[in-house]
Structure 1
Amino acid sequence: MRLRIQLTGWERRRLTLTDTPRPDCPRCEGEGGHAYDYGDHEGEYAGTEWDPCACWDETRRWILLRLPRIPRRRRGVRDPWSNEPPF
Structure 2
Amino acid sequence: MPRLRIQLTGWDRRTLILTDTPDPDCPRCDGDGGFAYDYGDHEGEYAGTDWDPCTCWDETRRWTLLRFPRIRRRSRGVRDPWNVEPPF
**Quick check: TM above 0.5?**
yes
The aligned counterpart of 2:55 is 54
The aligned counterpart of 1:10 is 11
State the alpha-carbon separation in 2 of the partners of residues 6 and 40 from structure 1.
36
| Correspondence 1:4-43 to 2 at 5 A | 4-43=5-44
1:77 Cα deviation after fit? 5.9
Q: How many residues in Structure 1 have an aligned counterpart in Structure 2?
A: 79
Q: How many percent identity over aligned positions?
A: 77
Question: Which letter does structure 2 place at the counterpart of 1:24?
Answer: D
3-state secondary structure, aligned to 2:7: strand
Compute the RMSD of aligned alpha carbons. Answer: 2.1
1:10 Cα deviation after fit? 2.4
Larger Rg: 2
The aligned counterpart of 1:82 is none
The aligned counterpart of 1:63 is 64
Cα separation, partners in 2 of 1:40 and 1:67, compared to 1, 3 Å: same
State the alpha-carbon separation in 2 of the partners of residues 59 and 9 from structure 1.
16
State the alpha-carbon separation in 1 of the partners of residues 4 and 67 from structure 2.
18
1:4 Cα deviation after fit? 0.5
Unaligned runs of 5+ in 1: 80-87
Unaligned runs of 5+ in 2: 83-88
3-state secondary structure, aligned to 1:18: strand
TM-score, normalising length: structure 1: 0.78
3-state secondary structure, aligned to 2:44: coil
